[in-house]
Structure 1
């Protein structure tokens, strides 16, 4: 064991770390050097590092600590709208709009025509009215918040009638009954899990009813002997009783997805046309924008929601407003929507295009894989994700990476997660599947695997 008194002093190491001080600051650099010296003392090596060695180790430590936990990754899970990976990838127009809003002061709540205070919702109100056919619109920070504030505004202290088959649980174990309780409404369940009839709603409506709630079961399906009351019929029942209908579409879409080869989902415009007084839906799922919760519908009800004290606590900041406005504008040009909006483009991506890419990649990555790992092209099924169209899958192709021993598979998965740009796939049938539906940068993907910190 070397004499630890020979370790270079902190000041001496700092003399070799001018670039680190310039990049990370003197305090952080000093702390990193001290941490490296403490590790050397604990290890008691036979040979002591030089001041230059310690500075180099401190540099590596600082670079690692400077990496954001939100750094970009390759989503090869096969789930396009992956909740744990940030859901929708934004369009370039949305990114540019948000970047501009970050760099400069903007007229967030300032009316440029009158010179007086304005409303931040005004930036999207006209667009949402145009795209949905609703009288008015507002927004909050996500769809759960949209349902919460709508319920609280329409029915606090009163009853909300909802089909038992629509009492959904969304991500993170948040359940509709819990949201209703927090909103201050009393839940009145009608019908059964699989069948609810018009007479069930009519029997439940009374003097204490504040609203009727319809929930689109976008994250699951009940099949077989089922019955539900459609939006138009339910709106008639609610209006005959003098109460509003709130229709929560969940994921929500502004276009007919069948036009892109996907299963059909009810659109927001259709829900409004059916007579719903308020419709709520998400911004970061099928719509393809940043996280937000939209509320569209009757002008008087939207005004009441905007007067609710909760609104300020749930409002959206300027960055998301800018990105949302740019995203919504893309829907004005449906002919080019798939080319400009990543969510639609990835969902509509032809399987043949994905297969061709897979066959290009296999010979390129084979030499980069750890010894014994094999790669082959296999057909697979992608998912939409985030609770949208849960029974529908998309034909795709994947790189199937197989290891000679089962225990090596987890090591491979871990190595891919540890790359400069992590690669996230899914383990299936004893192998790692890298579904290529969401891979749009082949060159970057290969460079990431082949770089100095890659697999090679």
Structure 2
């Protein structure tokens, strides 16, 4: 019993200097809840033979440590050295400074979200980006929803509910997180009609599938995989002509989507949204937070009458964007009016276009400094060539030459142990394990000090 009496009561702890200090930072209720948990744990240790007096002396520190651990946000910045620029699990695109400023202003102030400043009446929130999208894509009209899957769902539901949507078997993609195009079509109330085969689909396949129940033709850009070899598909202009002849719309889902030719950055050419519109698609859907480099969003651009019909769909309200993302997207789209400076102003494009020589020079600088920080833990560091990738389903078979740090240690589990230690840092460092080593690809590392200062916080071995 003596050991239990040594433990402080809740009131006595709260009146102590450490208790008052913790309550000031974390709040009384949180301190009380945490203290109860630690006291219960200490009593269990006393029952198992622990020293109650010694445990009582540790209560202050235990409560403080538990409160500090609980105060660390789960959603916090990391250093993305994985080699994937648009890493879905790490939040995809980084926003441009202009977009960040616009989002902060939207958070801090009232703004004319759905208020027409010209006549004082109610406005349309998508008008803040619709004009820019018309200008940048050549489409008659545009609207925005919360992601591209939502854009496809909304368009399919508007024109295909209770009717048929015709699509090539080779384009029945699975999107990240196991969302499959056939399942999205089912939720939209559309009956899927598959045509062609996995590797070859012809115009006659689409024409044979047309009938009185056809609601639309669907073309899906296979942005997250490639089928190579004995293949055939129907070019978008030819498919658009088939749709026009049948009197149904052609929906072209570009997936990642791009507003400019990526070959300017040394990447393989992808179809642009403007090209898809010019090729005759009645509606084009694409993402805002992938190759475009903006906030998460899904865009629908195309013929005005069709966009207006989508805008009247009751599902539309459930999928709309908030003011913060709209503000960030408007600022991002404005940057595309000045294509000559995009690579400097849009982080996604800047990282994709970063010269290999620049990354290699950074690796040469960092290697000895990183080894000095890790040598006490039994690791050695060497500069190595590696390949980065775009990520998020964009250009899946294309890689970008890069340079990284190859870190090795004793034991077959050395890379996994180090990776776990780096993930536990206040600013977690995310690399990838390859060929028995932990690889830190430096393509997405903006400055040396951010890595060095983070690694300096590794606990002593």
TM-score by length of 2: 0.96
Deviations 1:123-151, CA, capped at 9 Å, x for gaps: 11101101111000001111001000101
Runs of 4+ off more than 3 Å: 49-53, 453-456
Instruction: Give SS of 1:36's match.
Output: helix
Residues 31 and 168 of structure 1: CA distance in aligned 2, closer, same or farther (over 3 Å)? same
Q: How does 1:43-58 map to 2 (within 5 A)?
A: 43-44=45-46, 45-46=50-51, 48-49=53-54, 53-58=58-63
Contact kept, 8 Å, 1:368 with 1:455, in 2: the verdict is no
Query: Which shifted more, 204-213 or 220-229?
Result: 204-213
Equivalent position SS for 1:57: helix
Partner SS state of residue 401, structure 2: strand
Aligned to 2:217: 212
Match of 1:61 among 66, 71, 74: 66
Q: Is 1:9 paired with 2:15?
A: no
SS in 1 for 2:167: strand
Q: Distance in 2 between matches of 1:4 and 1:397?
A: 59
TM-superposition CA deviations, 1:193-216 (whole Å, max 9, x none): 111111111111122111110000
**Per-residue deviation, residues 49-80 of structure 1 (Å, max 9, x unmatched):** 58774333322211211111110001111011
* Residue matched to 2:403: 397
Q: 1:96-149: per-residue Cα shift (whole Å, max 9, x none)?
A: 111111111111111111111111111111011011110000011110010001
2:174 is aligned to 169
1:272-291 to structure 2, matched below 5 A, reads 272-291=277-296
* Equivalent residues of 1:415, 1:455 under 8 A apart: no
Q: What TM-score, normalized by structure 1, do the two folds share? A: 0.97
- Aligned to 2:395, what secondary structure does the other structure show? strand
The answer on whether the counterparts of 2:157 and 2:190 sit within 8 Å (CA) in structure 1 is: yes
Pairing 1:340-359 to 2, within 5 Å after superposition? 340-359=345-364
- In the other structure, the counterpart of 2:248 is 243
| Bigger Cα displacement from structure 2, 233-242 vs 55-64 | 55-64
Unaligned runs of 5+ in 1: none
Partner deviation per Cα, 1:238-293 (whole Å, 9 max, x = no partner): 10111110000000000100111111100000000001000000011101111110
| Cα RMSD, aligned residues only | 1.6
Aligned in 2, Cα 1:327/1:52: closer, same or farther, shift over 3 Å? farther
Note the C-alpha offset of 1:34: 2.2
Structure 1 residue 455, shift from structure 2 partner: 6.2
Please tell me whether residue 100 in structure 1 is matched to residue 102 in structure 2: no
Q: Which residue of 2 aligns with 1:381?
A: 387
Q: What's the offset of the Cα at 1:412?
A: 1.2
Residue 298 to residue 455, structure 1, CA distance change in 2 (3 Å): farther
In the alignment, structure 1 residue 116 sits paired with structure 2 residue 118: no
How far does residue 89 in structure 1 lie from its aligned partner after superposition? 1.1
* Partner secondary structure for residue 237 of structure 1: helix
Q: CA deviation at 1:2?
A: 7.2
* Count of residues in correspondence between the two structures: 455
Gaps of 5+ in 2: none
Cα distance change of structure 1 residues 329 and 49 upon mapping to structure 2, 3 Å threshold: farther
Aligned mates of 2:143, 2:378 — CA distance in 1:
56
SS at match of 1:70: coil
Offset at 1:312? 0.5
Is 1:306 matched up with 2:311? yes
Q: Name the counterpart of 1:31.
A: 33
**Distance in structure 2 (CA, Å) of the matches to 1:357 and 1:38:** 51
For residues 251 and 74 of structure 1, the distance between their equivalents in structure 2, rounded to whole angstroms, comes to 24
CA distance in structure 2 between the partners assigned to 1:98 and 1:150 by the alignment: 28
Checking the alignment, whether the CA contact within 8 Å between 1:448 and 1:454 is kept in structure 2 is: no
Shift of 1:33: 2.1
